[in-house]
C-alpha cells in the first residue's frame, strides 16, 4: 500500500513537471505625456479633457481672487462706505460723545447716489431711515434718547 501511494505520488509529480510554465512581464507605460507617455497622445488627451470640462469660460474682465473687478464700481462702493462711516461716526459723537448737545444731526432728508437718508425725531429717539433705490430696500435705525 505504501508502495502504491509512493508510486502515485511520483507519477503525479512527473506529470506536473512536464508542463511548461509560461508567463509575461507586465510593464506599466503612462499614457499622459506629462508623466512620460507618448507625446502623440497629447492632442487626444487635451480634446478629451476639454470635452469633459463643465466649467464655463471666465470673462475677459480682470478679476481678483475669483471676483470680478470693476474699478468704477469699486470706487463708488468706497465712497458709499466712506459716507456711511462718516454718518455713523457723526451719530455716535453727536449723541454719545462729549458735548453731545451741540453737534446733533440736523433733521431733514438727504440724497446721496442711490440712497435717500431721512433723519426725524421720534418718541423713542432719533429715527434714521435709509432707502436704497437701486435694490428697493429700506432700513430704519432708531438712536435712543439717553
pLDDT per position as a tens digit, 30-87: 888 888 888 888 898 889 888 998 887 766 655 656 666 777 778 878 888 888 888 7
- Residue 63 has a pLDDT of 60
- The domain tally of the chain equals 1
Which element (helix H / strand E) includes 131?
Answer: strand 125-132
Q: Is residue 26 part of a domain?
A: no
Q: Is residue 34 part of a domain?
A: no
pLDDT-derived band at 8 (thresholds 50, 70, 90) equals confident
What are the tens digits of pLDDT across the range 87-110?
Answer: 778 777 776 666 555 456 678 888
Q: Is residue 1 part of a domain?
A: no
- Residue 98 has a pLDDT of 63
Q: Which residues of 53-77 are buried (b: 16+ CB within 10 A; e: fewer)?
A: eeeeeeeeeeeeeeeeeeeeeeeee
Between 102 and 23, the more confident residue is 23
- Residue 102 has a pLDDT of 46
Query: What range defines the domain where residue 89 resides?
Result: 64-144
Whether the model clears a pTM of 0.85, i.e. scores above it, the answer is no
Determine the Cα–Cα distance for residues 143 and 36; give it in Å rounded to an integer: 70
Amino acid at each position: 500500500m505504501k508502495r502504491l501511494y509512493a508510486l502515485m505520488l511520483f507519477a503525479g509529480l512527473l506529470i506536473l513537471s512536464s508542463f511548461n510554465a509560461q508567463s509575461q512581464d507586465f510593464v506599466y507605460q503612462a499614457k499622459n505625456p506629462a508623466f512620460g507617455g507618448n507625446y502623440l497622445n497629447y492632442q487626444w488627451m487635451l480634446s478629451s479633457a476639454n470635452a469633459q470640462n463643465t466649467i464655463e469660460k471666465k470673462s475677459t474682465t480682470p478679476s481678483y481672487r475669483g471676483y470680478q473687478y470693476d474699478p468704477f464700481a469699486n470706487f463708488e462702493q468706497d465712497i458709499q462706505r466712506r459716507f456711511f462711516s462718516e454718518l455713523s461716526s457723526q451719530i455716535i459723537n453727536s449723541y454719545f460723545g462729549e458735548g453731545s448737545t451741540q453737534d446733533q444731526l440736523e433733521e431733514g432728508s438727504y440724497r446721496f447716489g442711490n440712497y435717500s437718508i431721512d433723519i426725524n425725531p421720534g418718541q423713542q429717539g432719533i429715527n434714521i431711515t435709509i432707502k436704497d433705490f437701486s435694490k428697493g430696500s429700506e432700513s430704519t435705525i432708531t438712536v435712543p434718547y439717553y
